[in-house]
Amino acid sequence: MGSLRKGLIWCMALGLVALFPATVLAADGVHPAAWPSWHLQAAFLGLLAPAALMLLALGATPAEHASDTVAGALSALVAGVVAYCICGFAFQFGGIALRENWPGLHGLAAEWSPIDPSLGWGWGAIGLRGFFLLGPAATPDGYALAAVQLPAVAVAILVPVLALARRVGRPILLAVAALVGGVLYPLVGNWVWGGGWLALLGGNAGLGHGFVDLGGSATLNLLGAGVALCGILLLEHRVAPAKRRQAIELPPVHFPLVMLIGSLLAPIGWVSMVLANPLVPGDMPVGLVALNLVLAALGGAAPGLFYSWLATGRADALLAARGMIAGLAAASASCAFVPPWAALLVGLLAGLLLPLVLYAVEHRLHWHDPNAILSTHGLPGLLGVLWLAFAADGRWGVGWNGIGEWGVSGWLAGPGSAADAPGQLLAQLAGVGSILLLAVLGSGILFGVVRIRRGLTALREAPQPGRARRARRRAT
């Protein structure tokens, strides 16, 4: 009853906050090009990205646990997507009309900001309209905007769920999925893509073009890996001592065909998921995005093939497939702003780091990460966000987040636009720190409660010597 009462209080509080409206003055609205049919088609193909993650997870799962892994992932997707429709969409896009002048989204114009708008507009932190996809969200444009987000929501949910699958109970997995889909991802999505404060650091603080993460290197991959790391540490998922004494081996492949299909679907799903986002400028180079993501995926796969061949005498396909995911995660943030050689290079870097991080996690830190989430999503996501501040050449992204006479610029940009590079790096660092802090705080509360409950349960079930002695005396 206590938890139910607290839940009702929070719901009432959110309802009261949503009553304070924020108005937006809009004349003739402007839709993105080919909205929504083209974006919905891309989002449909983008669903191949979470499917690929599930197939690759099966490639490293013992045959006897395959059914449990699939059932856990599917049930987590149900919980997370439902939570996103209930409150996540409102948290992410409840104030989108303050930034985007779309005819069908005029009602989504309430955003909570910790700073008084009179002191500077653009520090929005959470949307307040569109709960349950009702009211101002119940329009064709609102439904379409929610639909094109589903591939990204699914990826953000699966990253931590696959890391914790078969190590925690099903209720905990469902709670993690609901937390990520209903709160954590929507908050980060608001800050980065929904007109929130991270995206507007350029105008508010003079930091380049603000935080830039086109495809979700941090918004999806780093956030999910942060939640997974918090769960691994707080719930003590460590490799058993017997396994530590075994010879160092690469992850076995139990389902080669399933794993191969997943690795082939991943680039298609990733490209489609990025292109489905309607909130990017209309002049985004679609061909460059697709080319860079494919090159990064192939670059990430190459080091795993050569490393496994040199280390074991055979090329390990699972390590190469994980390298493809690492390359895609590393290139997602900057795929529209860097030349092809830079995308290939960041994929190679992610692939080179993959076996080293796998070894460090399993055999030095002794963290049990059976699906290599920290290696394929965590470090590559961090690398990808910072890579943009280094390799963006300033050719693309003019007007991104309302900033600039030139495009998004890093240290390798031309003489004029390279002056934005220090500020862009600071904006990227601010985004990384904020996203990791939210992941640790948000999931840390959940995992902390789980750990306390486990401790209390173990204490109650532990044998008590005094009680046992009294029982023996009575028996004699």
Main-chain phi, psi angles of 112, to 5 degrees = -85, 135
| 203 in any annotated domain | yes
| 4 in any annotated domain | no
Q: Which two tokens stand for residue 27?
A: 């004349």
**What pLDDT score does 259 carry?**
82
Cα–Cα separations (whole angstroms), residue 240 to 162, 237, 245, 363, 366: 19, 9, 9, 11, 8
**What pLDDT score does 469 carry?**
59
Count of domains forming the chain: 1
What torsion do the CA atoms of 8, 9, 15, 20 make, to the nearest 10 degrees? Answer: 180
Domain harbouring 114, CATH code: 1.10.3430.10
Place of tokens 């093939």: 305
Look up the domain containing 167 and give its range: 32-462
Q: Pick from 217, 227, 266, 319: which is nearest to 54 by CA?
A: 266
Q: Is-contact 415 405, C-beta < 8 A?
A: no
**What pLDDT score does 240 carry?**
46
| 8 in any annotated domain | no
User: pTM for this one?
Assistant: 0.88
| 467 in any annotated domain | no
**What pLDDT score does 381 carry?**
97
**What pLDDT score does 6 carry?**
42
| 22 in any annotated domain | no
**What pLDDT score does 282 carry?**
62
**What pLDDT score does 343 carry?**
97
| 476 in any annotated domain | no
| 469 in any annotated domain | no
| 217 in any annotated domain | yes
pLDDT along the chain (476 residues), means of 10: 41 36 42 86 96 89 81 95 98 93 91 75 89 96 96 97 88 96 98 93 91 96 96 71 44 64 93 89 84 97 89 84 96 96 97 94 89 95 96 90 86 71 94 97 93 76 60 61
